[in-house]
Amino acid sequence: MDSDRRTFAWLLPAIGAVALALLPAVLTPYTHDLVVKITLYAIFALSLELLVGMTGLVSLGHAAFLGIGAYVTVLASGDGAGSALRLLPMAMGAAAVYALFVGALSLRTKGVYFIMVTLAFAQMAYFVFHDTQLGGGSDGIFLYVKPVIELGGTTWLDLDNKMHLYYSVLAALVFTYGLLALIRRSRFGHALAGIRVNEQRMRAAGFQTYRYKLAAFVIAGTLAGLAGFLLAAKDGAVNPELLSWHESGAVLLMLILGGIGHLRGAVIGAAAFMLLREFFQTEDLVGPLASHWQMTLGFTIIAFVALLPKGLIGMAMPRRRRAAPARPLEVRHD
């Protein structure tokens, strides 16, 4: 029975991935673009889920790593087509380095302090790109040619090609999802869960909890950097608003919309948020409210958090008592 559960747990996300792979056949250019955007933000949301859902660390500055990944991609590209084989590691590496710096310092604080410090460090990165020569100012910078993979004279991957981009983003999502599922079932993941529930107990048992949290923080930042690379490749441009606290707030929102504590939740939440935002901004659907979409979004968030704190997934899962949980967490690996 346990192995049945395990196979079943992989089935749903696997079906989802296959569905996404087949989708381009039926998508219009607008919806194609939307799906790529949603998938990309799902990666971003998943990276934060590692921190918030699995480790219990609420970071309000996660957009910094998305932005750094994007900016480094553009800055290191130069005038010609950059090699994705070089740019992707650079983007993720830069995000990892900043995550190490921010994590090392902010994890010396707890609770509300931690939230404020992560926000402040994201703001610092924002200012670097907004004010200094490095970033090209408030307008941002353009990517002249999108990254490619060129080996032995042939271009294997060209991110300017819509299909290539689509499947690259999908592959990145599958990778991220799979990595996090693996982490969750590993010793590291179980330790993170213990830290989330009761850090003091973990220390009493002998875990050096600071190191675990820092590792989670860096991994989360690196994965956000991956999303940043893809974002730069998709949009062909970056601007400082990518690091703004609106972006950091939005990704937290995606998690709570979908349901914290579930990997599926991050993906569902990203989709729900992007669709909601599109919805609230479309005049055809909401009429005169479209120009005041911020307010509509604001009220929706309040209603959601107040009434459905467990998110969409919480709504779908009936309140049933688990008789014999085989896994430590009440949540499944999907």
Partner 1 sequence: MDFATFLVQCLNAVQYGLLLFLLASGLTLIFGIMGVINLAHGSFYMLGAYLAFVLSPHLGGSFIAVLLIGVLLSAAFGFVLEWAFFSFLYQRDHLQQVLMTYALILVFEEARSMLVGNDVHGVPIPAWLSGGFALGDLMSYPWYRLFASGACIVLAVALYAVVNRTRLGMMIRAGASNRDMVRGLGIDIKVLYRIVFAGGVALAALAGMIAAPMTSVYPNMGASVLIICFVVVVIGGIGSITGALVASLLVGFVDTFGKVFFSEYSGIGVYLLMAIILIWRPEGLMKRGF
Partner 2 sequence: MTEGAPLLSAVDLTRRFGGLTAVNAVSIDLDVGEVHAVIGTNGAGKSTLVNMLSGEMPPSAGRIRFDGHDITRWSQPQRARAGVGRSYQRTTIFPEFSVFENCRLAAQATHPRPWALWESADGCGASVRAAHESLEAAGLEDQASRPAGLLSHGGKRQLEIAMCLASRPKVLLLDEPLAGMGAEESERMLALLEQLKREHAVLLVEHDMDAVFRVADRITVMVNGEVIASDAPQHIRSNRDVQVAYLGEDH
Residues that bind partner 2 (CB under 8 A): 182-183, 185-191, 193-194, 197-198, 200-209, 212, 215, 322, 324-330
Question: Is residue 131 at the binding interface for partner 1, with CB under 8 A as the rule?
Answer: yes
Site string for partner 1, 45-64 (x = CB under 8 A): -------x-----x-x----
Residues 6+ apart with CB under 8 A from 97: none
Site string for partner 1, 225-264 (x = CB under 8 A): --------------------x---x--xx--x---x----
Q: How far is the CB of 108 from partner 2 (least distance, A)?
A: 14
Site string for partner 1, 4-33 (x = CB under 8 A): ------------------------------
Binding span for partner 1 by CB under 8 A among 12-20, 194-202, 220-228, 299-307:
299-307
Residue 43 site contact among partner 2, partner 1, none (CB < 5 to 8 Å, cut-off depends on kind): none
Nearest to 39 by CA among 226, 305, 318, 295: 226
Question: Is residue 286 at the binding interface for partner 1, with CB under 8 A as the rule?
Answer: no
How would you label 62-75 residue by residue, b for 16+ Cβ within 10 Å and e otherwise?
Answer: bbbbbbbbbbbbbb
For tokens 């650079």, the residue is 90
Size of the chain, expressed as the number of residues it contains:
334
Structural contact between residues 243 and 66, judged by C-beta atoms closer than 8 angstroms: yes
Q: For 239, left (φ over 0), alpha (ψ -120 to 50), or beta?
A: beta
The helix (H) or strand (E) run that includes residue 97 is helix 84-106
Question: Is residue 116 at the binding interface for partner 1, with CB under 8 A as the rule?
Answer: yes
For tokens 């850090």, the residue is 199
Structural contact between residues 259 and 311, judged by C-beta atoms closer than 8 angstroms: yes
Where along the sequence are the contacts to partner 1 (CB under 8 A)?
52, 58, 60, 105-106, 108-109, 111-113, 115-117, 119-121, 123-124, 127-128, 130-133, 245, 249, 252-253, 256, 260, 292, 294-295, 297-302, 305-306, 309
